[in-house]
Structure formats: structure tokens, C-alpha cells
Amino acid sequence: MSRHNLLISGYYGFGNIGDEAILDTMVKRIQSAVPEAELTVLSANPERTRSLYGIRAVERARPLKVLRAVWSCDTLISGGGSLIQDVTGRLSIHYYLMILMAASLLGKKVMVYSQGIGPIQKPVNRVLTKWVLNRADIITVREENSKKDLIQMGIRSEKLFVTADPVIDMACPGKALGENLLKAAGLNENSTQKRVAFALRSKDFREQGAYDALCEVVNALLRERCAVIFVPFHFSEDLEVIRRLKVDFGDKIYTLVERHAIQEILSVIHSMDLLVGVRLHALIFSAVAGTPLLALSYDPKIDYFMKAIGQSTFGPVNAFSPETLTQEILFRLEKTETDRAALISAVEDLKTRLDINERELVKLLGGK
């Protein structure tokens, strides 16, 4: 049986739990569907990536190494995540599109895998995206809105498929791992307090007004005798606000400030009664764990995911009322069992779409 050399390009090796969960799930699904595949990943931390996933990894910031990896592969897989967008950085969209273009020009097979497309605001970037993606063999996107946006840009619809975020297929490890971490953080495992986890981005709370609003919510929950826990998802970026809160609230709140494995963080979320999330993959972890969730939106991808699971966002992260948010949290804590049942059903529906990724990949590689 011939080997298939597959190169995966994405936002890997940066310590973002959500993106690492994407890679973890992608690797497992691809290896299951294509056992003869040899996988290589472009990573910011190749040594850690090799250690975690047992596959080859190449330094993503070294142009010659990246080009050599593209030259050596049979097929480039770009994804998942929100790679092709121009709102979080001026250059990132060009980085991912250049890798896709290089693969096409070198005659490689190209698959865009479960990506969330956009927002792409600059007209030149929309033209460039059209030019590059029309040369891809297969494009799968994680929501219907991404497909619509690509069609509006002029991408041919016959190669477009709507699937879901790969992380939705993660297996939940139960609560034991999470309980151990929470105990180490000081939370009494026998407490009957309702547990509310927050997964926030520091950048949304650097302004004093936004931070004060967050503190009002925390104080209100503490008055209601809730256990309030803060969980970082993008470790290097999320700790700033968590550490600031810890200084102001001390032992009244619980924080995770060490790096933890994907399964450990998922288990922590599984141990909660409610997650209040800004980060997309915190919300997806919550859905996978069957933990009710409340979303504050900073990007359309948050709204798209909540719609996919039959819910809506609470509102924008930069314009919430502390009183109203607290009331909604307390209301949701009273109906957790109903919410859990609805989440489990919605997640199962999304999982059925994921098989499209591997079906199309196998076809692309010459299988049936």
C-alpha cells in the first residue's frame, strides 16, 4: 500500500488549547481514515508538537523549511480554525494563502479542512482569497456562513462542503481529571456551590470600564455563593486578566494559571455548572462536555457556532450590562439539566457532518 505524505498547516504550537484540540482531533481522524498516511505539521514549537502527537513537525516561521515541507508532501491540508481572515493580524491571511498557493504551483493536492472563513475586510484580500482557493481541490468549512461568503467571493460551489469544527468530535474524559485540578486550585470538591467558569480574552478587559463591569459580575456571583473559576485557553494571552482578577479577589475566586493538557481542560469544563465564554473553543469544549454555556461575542464565528447548536449569544463582549449578565447567569443555573439535554442532541447532529472531511480526503487521495 502506497504511503501518503500529508502536510498540515494551521495555528499550531502556540499554546492555544483550542487550536491544539483541532490538531489532536484532526490527526486522530485522518489516521483512522487513512492509516497509511505520514503526517507532518507546520508548528511554532516543533519539538512539543512531535512529543504531543507522535508525528513529524517543521518550524513554521522558517520559509525554506516550510517550502521544503511543501515540496516533499503529496497533499497539503490547511486547517482547521479561522486562518483565512484579516481582522486579527495584517499578515496572517497572507501567510496561509502563500502556503496554499505554493502547494498549488508545485502541483500538490490541496484541501482546506473545516475552516471558518473570514471576516475578510480588505478588497485585495478577498480577490487574493478567490484566486488561491479556486485552485484548491476540496474546501470544507465549519459553518454555512463561510460557504456563502466564499461563493460571494467567486469560489466555485461544487468543491465546497459544510462540515463542523473538528473539536466537536472530542471524547469527554469525565470529571476526575478536572476535579483534581480544581482541588489543587483550592476548590472544595464536596462543596454544593454552583460552579461558574469564565474563559475570557485579556484584550477585551484592558480598559478600566470593561474590567470594572466584569468585577461587578464576579462580586454579584460571589454574593450568591457561586464558585467562580477562570480558565485560560490561549495561555500566553489570557493570563493577564486572570492574574489581575486574582490580585483583586484573592482566594474568593479560583484560577488555573499553569499549562494543562487538552483533556484536563475539557474535564474542568465538564465539572462546571455553567461556562461563560468569549473564546470559541471554550464554548465548543462546553458543548462537548454537555455543560451549559453562555456566549459573549467578539467575532461572527461565535454567533455562527451558537446558531449551529440552536442557541444565541448573550451579546457583544464590549457592551454587556453587568446586572443583566448576572441575571442571565443565575437564570441559566436554574435550568442546567434542560440545557444539558439540548446540548448533547445538538453536538450529535454536528458530529454527523464531520465524516464529510475524511470522505472527501480519501477521494482526493485516490480512494473510493
The domains of the chain are located at 4-162, 176-349
Given a contact cutoff of 8 angstroms between Cβ atoms, the answer to whether 115 and 84 are in contact is: yes
CATH class name, domain 176-349: alpha beta
Q: What is the pLDDT of residue 2?
A: 65
Tell me the average pLDDT across 13-17.
93
Q: pLDDT tens digits for 114-153?
A: 999 999 999 999 999 999 999 999 999 999 999 999 999 9
Tell me the average pLDDT across 33-41.
96
Q: What is the pLDDT of residue 368?
A: 56
DSSP 8-state class, residue 167: G
Q: Which CATH number fits domain 4-162: 3.40.50.11930, 1.10.150.20, 3.40.50.11740, 3.40.50.12160?
A: 3.40.50.11930
Given a contact cutoff of 8 angstroms between Cβ atoms, the answer to whether 194 and 336 are in contact is: no
Tell me the average pLDDT across 345-368.
91
- Segment among 104-108, 185-189, 322-326, 352-356 with least mean pLDDT: 185-189
- Whether 4-162 and 176-349 share one fold: the answer is yes
Alpha helices in the chain (DSSP H): 17-33, 46-53, 63-72, 92-105, 123-133, 144-153, 176-184, 208-223, 235-249, 262-270, 280-289, 300-308, 322-333, 336-364
- Segment among 143-152, 161-170, 286-295, 342-351 with least mean pLDDT: 342-351
Tell me the average pLDDT across 31-55.
96
Instruction: Tell me the DSSP string of 248-282.
Output: HHGGGSEE--S---HHHHHHHHHT-SEEEESSHHH
Q: pLDDT tens digits for 193-235?
A: 999 999 999 999 999 999 999 999 999 999 999 999 999 999 8
% of the chain with per-residue pLDDT over 90: 89
pLDDT tops 60 at residue 352: yes
Tell me the average pLDDT across 306-335.
94
